[in-house]
Amino acid sequence: EILRTHVLRPTWHFVTPADIRWMLMLTAPRIQALNNPYYRQVGMDEVQLQRSVEVMAGALQGGKHLTREALADALHGAGIDTKGALRYPYILMNAELEGVICSGARQGKHHTYALMDERVPPTSAIPRDEALAALLRRYLISRGPVTLKDFVRWSGLTVADAKAGIALLRSEVREELIDEQSYWYHVDMTPTEPTLPVAQWLPNYDEYLYGYTDGFSAIDGKALEGAYSRNFTHGIVLNGKVVGVWHRTLKAKTIELASIMLTVLSDEENAAIAAAAQRLGDFLGLRVVMKDGG
């Protein structure tokens, strides 16, 4: 029901089987163009990349779900070197962007890969303009108001694509000028007034922290500089602003959450942060142990 593949920026995203083909059709050519210098940097030309895709497809054929290690063995057996910090990740990413492989079923704690054609039912192709409009519509509804640069950073597409998408959605979008900057949002956005305080413990690549240009003013870079240098790379968000950083240590029955707060908070705000930490522990089925990382 949920697949993982490289489809935006580029980085891994979770997508549904119904979306994976049209999204790759839209974004993969641009991402592949951005990746070409890196393919050359790790010593993979077009012939080698195509050969690696063929080898992995052959190894996975017949409904097999193989771990990274098993796929690497298949590549080595065909004379394709996967050594190097980035070489193998780019080999895998290329096969994902070509629409040949995607995530398979978990084997215990290990992720696997499978053939996309054996994992995803056939779907009808849609025109590129329709795909562009669909992607921008979803972005605006879920993340607006945003700038066009926000969409470019999030999607990996071009400024020209962003402008074309706005033109395609003209009757569905609205523009607001704030500090001489245009922000766009979808008419179907339904903003609500939350009951404050609202807290979340977010990972460093969470969409809220990474889905906008320059952190969407949610992050005070100077305040975070010292904390990030100490490997506290995740954000504690309170009422939309990063107020602390954290990291976790997973143990058999507990999750240790060490944090560094960047500002003085009220008792009510601290209680909201503690409650959010407990939700994380409940999700993982582990007892939460709070630690001061300062």
The pLDDT tens digits of the residues spanning 69-128 come to 999 999 999 999 999 999 999 999 999 999 999 999 999 999 999 999 999 999 899 999
Q: Are 183 and 257 within 8 A, CB to CB?
A: no
pLDDT higher than 80, residue 228: no
| HSE-up (13 A, CA, CB side) for residue 60 | 28
Q: What is the pLDDT of residues 35-72, one digit of tens each?
A: 999 999 999 999 999 999 999 999 999 999 999 999 99
Q: What is the pTM of this model?
A: 0.86
Distance CA 212, CA 147 (A): 8
| Integer Cα distance of 263 and 294 in angstroms | 12
Rounded to 5 degrees, φ, ψ at 80 are: -105, 120
DSSP 7: E
Question: pLDDT-based confidence at 263, cuts 50/70/90?
Answer: confident
| Rounded percentage of the chain residues whose pLDDT exceeds 70 | 94
Radius of gyration of the chain (CA): 22
Mean pLDDT of the chain: 92
List the one residue out of 16, 24, 140 whose CA is nearest residue 93: 24
CB 255 within 8 A of CB 284: yes
For the ranges 162-171, 213-222, 261-270, the lowest mean pLDDT is seen at 213-222
| Confidence category of residue 229, pLDDT binned at 50, 70, 90 | low
State residue 241 phi and psi, 5-degree precision: -120, 145
Residue 294: band (very low, low, confident or very high) from pLDDT cuts 50, 70, 90 = low
